[in-house]
Amino acid sequence: MPFLDDLPNETLSAVCAHLNPSSLCALVCASHRLQSVGERLLYSDIVITDSVDSDPDTIVTPRRLLNCYTAIVRRPYLAQCIRRFVVRWIRDRARKHHECLLAPDVLPALKFLLQSASQTEVLELHLAGLPPGFDYNALLLGACFRLRRLALSGSSDAPVESFLCTQPSIVYLHLPDHRNPLALRPQDIPFLETFRGDLHCAGSIIPGRPVSTLILSGHEPSDLLLAPLGHSTRPIRRLDLSALSVTPTQLLTISKHLTALETLRMRLALRHTLHFTFSGMMLLSALTQVLGAFQHLVHLDLSPTSVDGVIGVRNEVEEHSLCSAWSAVAPSLRRVKFPSGTNWSRSPDGIWRPVSISPSP
């Protein structure tokens, strides 16, 4: 490769930075020089996905995880290149609540990788098949990285507090399987900006921390569970309820405790609010009255809403009418995304116009 050999390492690094992982893998196999330049970038973002599906008495061995372990053992300097480390074990939905029988070397290998990757900033461990209450603290004990983003799932209400108290730099925390409050000290995770998880768990995390974005799941909104959310040190401005099915009454309750919301993404309980007919989407007057309680709302995203899994049918006339009605009671509203996937934007002169159509989730 005479042409590539003439290029400085800085140029080769810039080329590698624009390649997807599969192309980068192919490139580093082409020559020793390309390997020396590209492998550090390749190992900066590690995503390992293994299937752990098996019969209850069958020993499971996540091969890709063990392959990564072998590679780091052979070339330990690569562990210092890791900035994002994601391990995802997947299994059939029907078995996801059953504990899997892991080979004895699996968890020690994972612990070795975590302890070696001391420069990691983003850590995601989605370990399906772990027993309830699995001790993440023990798995992560000895890891000395300073994380900014952390996601842990796979075991319901697994102890994590001892580890969280060692990670003061976390700004994003995702705990989908924690349904109960955490026993955190006031000084733990002091810079947290975004929490994603169960509403009951959120109530033990938000007070006294600068959380401005919430992505909630699990427990349905109620006065009791929502009350602690109003005690963050910053106003909560972004709320995502797409994992729940919310009613107008629950939205009114939310508006009492989260008074500064600017972005609201939600899946409406259609039996209470919307129904779809052959002529398109119609809104009961209750939703318009509810939106009037969100006086700072700028962006309303209804795209998660569907009926029996069917995406809403686009009707431009009705959508325009709804935008006008909603902005009349919520004057700050500027953007709306409907279940049809249509995005509407309000111009400075107050005119609503469709700006794009994107697929709904």
For 259-302, the pLDDT digits (tens) are 999 999 998 876 544 444 433 355 445 678 899 999 999 999 98
What are the Cα distances from residue 166, in Å, to 124, 187, 190, 255?
Answer: 17, 11, 11, 35
Q: Are 254 and 236 in contact (CB under 8 A)?
A: no
The answer, yes or no, to whether residue 193 has pLDDT greater than 90, is yes
Task: Label the pairing between strands 342-346 and 149-153.
Answer: unpaired
- pLDDT for the residue 76: 93
Q: Average pLDDT of the chain?
A: 85
- pLDDT for the residue 357: 64
Q: Are 181 and 155 in contact (CB under 8 A)?
A: no
- pLDDT for the residue 276: 45
- pLDDT for the residue 308: 45
- pLDDT for the residue 359: 55
In whole angstroms, give the CA distance from residue 316 to residue 353. 10
In whole angstroms, give the CA distance from residue 183 to residue 65. 31
For 54-73, the pLDDT digits (tens) are 777 788 899 999 999 999 99
Q: Which residue has the higher pLDDT, 13 or 191?
A: 191
pTM of the model as a whole: 0.87
For 152-161, the pLDDT digits (tens) are 998 888 889 9
Please state, as a whole number, how many other Cβ atoms lie within 10 Å of the Cβ of residue 301. Answer: 21
- pLDDT for the residue 280: 37
Going by C-alpha positions, the residue among 182, 230, 220 that lies closest to residue 199 is: 220
The answer, yes or no, to whether residue 7 has pLDDT greater than 90, is no
Task: Look at residue 305 and give its three-state secondary structure.
Answer: coil
Q: Which residue has the higher pLDDT, 270 or 170?
A: 170
Q: Are 184 and 162 in contact (CB under 8 A)?
A: no
At a CB cut-off of 8 Å and minimum separation 6, what does 70 contact?
Answer: none
Task: Look at residue 202 and give its three-state secondary structure.
Answer: helix
Angle at 225 between CA 205 and CA 98, to 5 degrees: 75
- pLDDT for the residue 22: 76
At a CB cut-off of 8 Å and minimum separation 6, what does 314 contact?
Answer: 280, 338, 340, 341, 342, 357
Percent of the chain with pLDDT over 70: 88
Name the strand (E) or helix (H) holding 301. Answer: strand 299-301
The answer, yes or no, to whether residue 111 has pLDDT greater than 80, is yes
Q: Are 217 and 255 in contact (CB under 8 A)?
A: no
- pLDDT for the residue 307: 47
- pLDDT for the residue 343: 93
For 303-330, the pLDDT digits (tens) are 887 644 444 456 788 888 889 999 999 9
- pLDDT for the residue 2: 53
